[in-house]
Amino acid sequence: MAKGYWVSVYPVISNPERLTAYNELAGLAVRAGGGRVLSPVGGRVVAHEAGITERVILIEFDGFEQAVAAYESESYQKALVALPDGFERDFRIIEGID
């Protein structure tokens, strides 16, 4: 079974402290859904071409369907409500290779 991944990039973060509530709720939801964070918040990024060096998060799940289910879970939907207004985010769920 192919793994599933959440890939999230925040092009601009003007006030990272406003993400505290989201971070806490999202972390609980990810762990409850079986996800494993593979890149730390504030980890080093070397960007090329049109790459973005701001916050980049990579989370791994044992399967693609599990990754989708974790996103759709009630606990993660509560985390999304806590995401403050004015934050821009590029979020994707992708399927890995078996």
DSSP per-residue letters across 28-47: HHHHHTT-EE-S-TT-----
- pLDDT for position 71: 97
Question: Global pTM?
Answer: 0.88
* Eight-class DSSP state of 12: -
Domains of the chain (ranges; CATH) run 4-95 (3.30.70.100)
Find all residues with CB under 8 Å of 9, minimum gap 6, and list them.
52, 54, 55, 56, 57, 89, 90, 91
What is the signed CA dihedral for 78, 74, 26, 38, rounded to 10 degrees?
Answer: -160
Q: pLDDT digits over 41-67, tens only?
A: 778 888 888 887 778 899 999 999 999
Is pLDDT at 86 greater than 80 in this prediction?
no
Is pLDDT at 12 greater than 80 in this prediction?
no
E-strand ranges in 12-86 read 36-37, 56-61
